[in-house]
Structure 1
Amino acid sequence: MADDKEISAPVVDTGHIISTTIGGKNGEPKQACITHWTISYMAERVVGTGSFGIVFQAKCLETGETVAIKKVLQDRRYKNRELQLMRVLDHPNVITLKHCFFSTTTKNELFLNLVMEYVPESMYRVLKHYSSANQRMPLIYVKLYTYQIFRGLAYLHSVVGVCHRDLKPQNVLVDPLTHQVKICDFGSAKVLVKGEANISYICSRFYRAPELIFGATEYTTSIDIWSAGCILAELLLGQPLFPGENAVGQLVEIIKVLGTPTREEIRCMNPNYTDFRFPQMKAHPWHKVFHKRMPPEAIDLTSRLLQYSPSLRCTALEACAHPFFDELREPNARLPNGRPLPSLFNFKQELSGASPELINKLIPDHVKRQIGLQQFMHPAGT
């Protein structure tokens, strides 16, 4: 990943027009590309910056479509992992890559431009909206947003084998009209291979799983489950559950709620960790973490996600089936404005390998009657 000096180049001026040829090997979208054509984008505004580069909103001059373009400095010696992953991703709750192209600067620097669908809001901005109004997010939205996060994770983890490794409210996009949610930013994502070491300094601090703080390098996709649990708690509380100021402070915040981890729990997080000197604290009861009127199902799900032992955390698909989300499965479930919910039960490959009991919980009776249960019990390609 480029450092700050290297990424000072990708400045995007409002009104700047980028023309590129789409098609062939480099810019090929998921669909088979038969011909080449020139397409032009006008940069409209910067929507995100970071050590990775820059994300800007742009308009396609040929179609009028608004897109998001992520521009990153590309090392000519290597393939871009984010591009390789995004080319195979195809799910309603994961951001869609439309195509890509390369551009250069006068300094002969090479930039990769990932052209993606544009989603106007992030969960971070939605949270800020409620916080500035001194309000809590309505529970129906908490359920709707977190359910879709878990559905996206179920696809990433079980279908394509990808661990996101940086799940946080800034990387969850929300369509304010349909309330469809999409996980974005796969710059840290990786296909985890058992027995292969990974870096432990990954994931934004407030959402970093404890095994990462303990320096584990052979972690699993359950680090994403921890992050999703932190997001759920934040939506319920209106503020981060574990707001540590540094790595040690982050662990202290976790211990304040979960209590001091046992030696066995530390072993489960990182077998190579040998320093057991921690302040001895008892777990804070979950029902005292939240306000008195918090539904017990919300507290129960949070407690199942935020476990020290990675193997004890529920999977993304198990989280989707939790009773906390039963309201979404009601036949007459609607948004507060009376509009229908976004599609929540058009499962495909995610159900491969799931038990009949789990599938039965995931698919509401009214959906089974409409579509037929058979296709869920035997998903295509299984």
Structure 2
Amino acid sequence: MSGNLPNPPQPPASGADLVQKSMNELRLTDENTTTNTTSSTNRQAYSSQQSQQNNNEIFEGRLVEGDLKQGNTMLSTVSSGAGRQVFNYSTDRIVGNGSFGVVFQATCLETGETVAIKKVLQDKRFKNRELQIMKQVDHPNIVKLKHCFYSYPDKEETYLHLVLEYVPDTVYRISKHYAKNNQRMPNLFVKMYTYQMCRALGAIHKQGICHRDIKPQNLLVNTETHQLKLCDFGSAKVLVKDEPNIAYICSRYYRAPELIFGATDYSSAIDVWSVGCVLAELLLGQPLFPGESGVDQLVEIIKVLGTPTREEIHAMNPNYTDFKFPSIKAHPWTKIFSKRMPPDAVDLVSKLLQYAPNKRLTAIQAMTHPFF
């Protein structure tokens, strides 16, 4: 974030130094920030039986000709119950990229509609988990999947293309705008964005889906209406009780502490922690826990929440048995935020950012908080 805003108050340096020294001795999860959503840990085994589509407007198709690149026009054909439809897309510019692939802003030449097309390298042995989940979700605060198709640049590669509604801005860019101008985001916007974020999560959590990468960059916003839409389900997964999951998930600043402790049997409460981090960032104008590594992330959390108790560590990961933590007291939330901050906003942050996952509010419970 911009350096124009003052840093939130921190506990005494001696305490932080103690935490940092101790963290170096612990066995904690510490990997790169970017999640590779095409890895085998993020795909479901391919089933010979096709999944049933619950949205008749979503069509799977095959690319007739061309390959999706910036600045070209491509033709795709998709099949539906009503027959075949042909769509020509003119790719205008790249709006996002990463280990997952690339996202283009494109125009459908038949309708003139602007869309976003996410191009992902596909392993033929697996179904794409993101595609399966996007077919299941239909909500005003979740980006809509229009249809999808495949391309084959050569015999060895297959690319999946997700055609999504285009939303022009993100909470990240809006927040950066205010920080750059040494301003705080208006409380009304903070309320609207946070409420809609919780609303989207409430819907997917009810279906057993955990997003696993909540961050300002994945919160799209129409700046004319301020409608928010959750996007990028490349890390999302249907969580099944007692079925192990990878601990390295979620972008670092927004990563729940149980993930840092290596928990594999976590719940959708990891998304709620991320919501608390996003809310705090919107209120402060900068990330609350700007860790430089997985271990340092825990240092930043302990600076604010204090040392977790044995009970809290057990709630995060029952299999974690190292307790080499110095005793650091929690830093009062009222000192993290300015005195002008609405007390209800600070209270909501404190109820979302709890060490014990079962002590955090759920997304639905958060929507009933007095802050809104």
Q: TM-score, normalized by length of structure 1? A: 0.80
2:179 pairs with one of 131, 139, 148: 131
C-alpha displacement of 1:12: 5.2
In 1, Cα distance between equivalents of 2:357 and 2:136: 27
In 2, Cα distance between equivalents of 1:137 and 1:165: 25
Equivalent residue for 2:70?
14
Equivalent residue for 2:188?
140
User: 8 Å contact 1:12–1:46 — kept in the other structure?
Assistant: no
Task: Check if 1:264 corresponds to 2:320.
Answer: no
* 1:159-183: CA deviation from partner (whole Å, max 9, x where unpaired): x210000100011100010000001
In 2, Cα distance between equivalents of 1:14 and 1:274: 51
C-alpha displacement of 1:14: 3.4
Task: Check if 1:161 corresponds to 2:217.
Answer: no
Matches within 5 A, 1:1-382: 1-2=37-38, 13-24=69-80, 33-106=81-154, 108-158=156-206, 160-325=207-372
C-alpha displacement of 1:107: 5.3
C-alpha displacement of 1:279: 2.1
Q: Give secondary structure in 2 for the equivalent of 1:181.
A: strand
1:143 is matched by which residue type in structure 2?
K
1:57 is matched by which residue type in structure 2?
Q
Q: TM-score, normalized by length of structure 2? A: 0.82
2:316 is matched by which residue type in structure 1?
M
Q: Give secondary structure in 1 for the equivalent of 2:371.
A: helix
Structure 2: runs of 5+ lacking an equivalent: 1-36, 40-65
Q: Which has the higher strand share?
A: 2
In 1, Cα distance between equivalents of 2:332 and 2:338: 12
User: 8 Å contact 1:207–1:226 — kept in the other structure?
Assistant: yes
In 2, Cα distance between equivalents of 1:115 and 1:79: 17
User: 8 Å contact 2:67–2:74 — kept in the other structure?
Assistant: no
In 2, Cα distance between equivalents of 1:59 and 1:130: 30
Q: Give secondary structure in 1 for the equivalent of 2:311.
A: helix
C-alpha displacement of 1:303: 0.3
1:244 is matched by which residue type in structure 2?
G
1:78 is matched by which residue type in structure 2?
F
Cα distance change on mapping 1:11 and 1:18 into 2, 3 Å: closer
In 1, Cα distance between equivalents of 2:218 and 2:79: 28
Aligned residues: 310
Q: Which has the higher helix share?
A: 1
User: 8 Å contact 1:103–1:112 — kept in the other structure?
Assistant: yes
Q: Give secondary structure in 1 for the equivalent of 2:201.
A: helix
In 2, Cα distance between equivalents of 1:38 and 1:141: 40
User: 8 Å contact 2:68–2:74 — kept in the other structure?
Assistant: no
Q: Give secondary structure in 2 for the equivalent of 1:233.
A: helix
C-alpha displacement of 1:23: 1.9
Q: Give secondary structure in 2 for the equivalent of 1:240.
A: coil
In 1, Cα distance between equivalents of 2:236 and 2:69: 29
**Structure 1 residue runs of 4 or more that deviate by more than 6 Å after TM superposition:** none
C-alpha displacement of 1:240: 0.2
Equivalent residue for 1:356?
none
C-alpha displacement of 1:305: 0.2
2:331 is matched by which residue type in structure 1?
H
